[in-house]
């Protein structure tokens, strides 16, 4: 079937204004949007820029807006969209470097701020690992699934309005360690998230949960971090 792709284009090196290019090509219902983008680049315009890596929904590099919603291009089939007219745009809220490629620097700056790694300077039990019960693991099991695609953060209207907002992905990754019984750095993470640009900026729009390609309960994780802050001390919210 004939499918029309309307693709956002921007090349700052050429000094041109952002615009859309349209390509019409034959597609199968089971083709992925990523397949179509690769066909456009291979057969129609070799200058088209977009990110991709594993192409199996694991690396998160090909997150983009498809018909107005954040997706991984490698996971969306043409038949899933219910139309043969597909508009493809870069993620919102991050600077566009070229075409569908955005600058992920601000996103990873927020991610690094929450110390997204296990912190524990205590000596482990002799000859043993630091063990957890299944119940302890369950507390943060969902948030271990994040692939840092930025689909949740760039679907958030608070982030669009204020790029200093920590964002759902950073909060999800903080949650993963705050609730890990082996970790000893919950306090500094909560201190970061207690700031004006932290979890209290969340307006519970649920866009982040809807956008997550790994079906993480993002809004629930943010609410759990808020509750952890309230338990921490009454003055945590500011």
Torsion of CA 138, 212, 156, 167, to 10 degrees: 50
C-alpha to C-alpha distance for 188 and 114, rounded to whole angstroms: 8
Residues forming a β-bridge with 96: 102
The answer to whether 177 and 186 are in contact (CB under 8 A) is yes
Residue 5: predicted pLDDT: 98
pLDDT range class, residue 107, cuts 50, 70, 90: very high
Given a cut of 50, is residue 67 above it in pLDDT? yes
Residue 233: predicted pLDDT: 63
Residue 238: predicted pLDDT: 41
Residue 124: predicted pLDDT: 85
Residue 14: predicted pLDDT: 86
Given a cut of 90, is residue 33 above it in pLDDT? yes
pLDDT in tens, 112-140: 999 999 999 998 888 788 999 999 999 99
Task: Output the pTM of the full model.
Answer: 0.93
pLDDT in tens, 148-204: 999 999 999 999 999 999 999 999 999 999 999 999 999 999 999 999 999 999 999
Please, what sign has the CA dihedral across residues 12, 15, 20, 22? negative
Domains of the chain: 2-102 (3.10.20.30), 105-236 (1.10.1060.10)
The answer to whether 202 and 222 are in contact (CB under 8 A) is yes
Phi/psi at 198 (nearest 5 deg)? -95, -145
DSSP state of 196: T
Residue written as tokens 């809220």?
93
From the number of C-beta atoms within 10 Å of its C-beta (0-12, 13-18, 19+), residue 35 rates as middle
């Amino acid at each position: 079937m004939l499918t029309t792709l309307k693709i956002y284009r921007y090349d700052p090196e050429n000094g041109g204004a952002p615009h859309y290019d349209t390509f019409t090509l034959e597609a199968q219902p089971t083709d992925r949007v990523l397949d179509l983008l690769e066909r456009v680049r291979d057969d129609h315009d070799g200058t088209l820029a977009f990110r991709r890596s594993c192409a199996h929904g694991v690396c998160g590099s090909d997150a983009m807006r498809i018909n107005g919603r954040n997706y991984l291009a490698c996971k969306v089939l043409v038949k899933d969209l219910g139309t043969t007219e597909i508009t493809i745009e870069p993620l919102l809220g991050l600077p566009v470097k070229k075409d569908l490629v955005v600058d992920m620097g601000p996103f990873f700056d927020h991610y690094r701020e929450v110390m997204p790694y296990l912190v524990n300077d205590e000596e482990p039990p002799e000859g043993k690992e630091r063990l957890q019960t299944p119940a302890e693991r369950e507390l943060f099991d969902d948030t271990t699934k994040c692939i840092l695609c930025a689909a949740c953060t760039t679907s958030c209207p608070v982030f669009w309005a204020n790029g200093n907002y920590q964002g759902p992905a950073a909060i999800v990754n903080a949650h993963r360690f705050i609730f890990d019984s082996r970790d000893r750095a919950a306090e500094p993470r909560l201190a970061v998230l207690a700031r004006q640009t932290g979890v209290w900026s969340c307006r519970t729009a649920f866009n982040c949960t809807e956008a997550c390609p790994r079906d993480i309960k993002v809004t629930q994780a943010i609410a759990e971090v808020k509750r952890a802050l309230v338990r921490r001390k009454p003055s945590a919210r500011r």
